[in-house]
Amino acid sequence: MVSSVALGGRLRGLAFCFLWYASVLSGFFFLFCPALPLLILHQAAYRKVTDILFAVWEMYPVALMELLFGTRVSLSGDPILSAERSIVLMNHRTRLDWNFLWAAMYHASSPPSHRLKFVLKSAVRHFPGPGWVMQMSCFLYIHRSWERDKDSLGRILDYFRDLRHSCQILIFPEGTDFSPANKKRSDEYAAERHLEKYDQVLHPKTTGFVFLAQRMRQNGQLDAVYDITVAYPRSLPQSEADMARGIFPEEVYFRVKRHPISTLPDSDIELRHWLTELWRDKEEALRQFYAEYNSESSSTKTLLHEFRHFGGHSSKACCLARAGCTCAAPPSNALYLALFSWTALSVFTIVALFTSPAARLWVTAHTLLFISLSIFTDGLQNFEVTLFRARRALLRNVWLKRK
């Protein structure tokens, strides 16, 4: 028989999933889709508007986690400078890391805004709602075929350069989440190459990172690389099903380390070694973190979100504005506003679908449009790049003829 506590957790988990997904769909249909004409009329404005919309939405899952579930997010290390063009590296402990990463980006960014774009598996773009929003936000999709992926990544990076659009690119060098099956494959990889077996991370793949770093550096698009280490010392949701069952982390810890571009090596081989050493350090930091956490008394753990030492010097009164400190990030008024606004938009969408034929027609038309784009093309993000290149070629030809 299910206890009242377990039942309450499941209900909260289902509520989180429903509100999260409803906010994505309502935002897509009634905020993102109205911006589509800008793709044709003014691509720079389209890119800015969709980036702002996505950044504003990112506060909603943070609000749900911190206000609905009471998840405490603690950070240590360096602030993330939002104006920088950067690569963000992170260990992939669970399939849901990206959901908790938004909390880190929200609290750690200085000023509190960013343009984070993920490198994702191509299949994600087909997911109704989230995949479509990420297409409009020009995320970078890969197909696990390096020749094809190299061309796709290069096209989008060059597009950002030509559009003079600054952003941060997130990549999970491990390529997949830390599950028992994936750890086994990582151990086999380590045994074949006489490498140390890791217990907290998987051995990183270096090809994608090296390409991004070199192409962005060549394009003048790279100011720094941010290394983020995430730790879940208590409850760990490994999948979306766990989240639906109400399994949520009570605490999530992030350590942020900024590496200026001037400190990165120049050659491909040295960059591969640099990333490998970074992951070795990450493994050791996580081992130490969990060892210290497990040695704490239960009374001390109630204050961990204020004092936790994770690769820096702890201080109760500190904030991420100073490197090497740790702090808990309390909910802000902006999160309460996000919780109210996005929930209200979801309610409006549901009411509109039940009461307005025009709203149903609008939703149906855009659903069919994005299903078609997902099936018959490589996504709206590639159409955006192709359209930009075609326009530039046309303008160049017109200018040459006039000359």
Is the pLDDT at 315 greater than 50? The verdict is no
Which residue in 224, 167, 212 sits closest to 51, CA to CA? Answer: 167
Hey, what are 298's tokens? 């239960």
Largest CA distance in the chain: 82
**144-201 confidence digits (pLDDT tens):** 788 899 999 999 999 999 999 999 999 999 999 999 999 999 999 999 988 899 999 9
Gyration radius of the chain's alpha carbons: 22
Is the pLDDT at 310 greater than 90? The verdict is no
- Mean residue pLDDT of the chain comes to 87
302 vs 198: which has the higher pLDDT = 198
Q: Is 259 exposed, middle or buried (0-12, 13-18, 19+ CB in 10 A)?
A: middle
Domain hosting 342: range is: 4-402
- How many structural domains comprise the chain? 1
Mean per-residue pLDDT for 394-402? Answer: 76
**220-235 confidence digits (pLDDT tens):** 999 999 999 999 998 8
Contact (CB, 8 A) for 228 and 90: yes
Q: Is the peptide bond before 112 cis (omega within 30 degrees of 0)?
A: no
pTM above 0.85, yes or no: yes
331 vs 186: which has the higher pLDDT = 186
Could you give the C-alpha distances from 101 to 81, 106, 128, 146, 370, in angstroms and in order?
Answer: 16, 9, 22, 26, 27
Q: What percent of the chain has pLDDT over 90?
A: 63
The mean-pLDDT minimum among 1-5, 74-78, 321-325, 392-396 falls in 321-325
Mean per-residue pLDDT for 237-244? Answer: 86
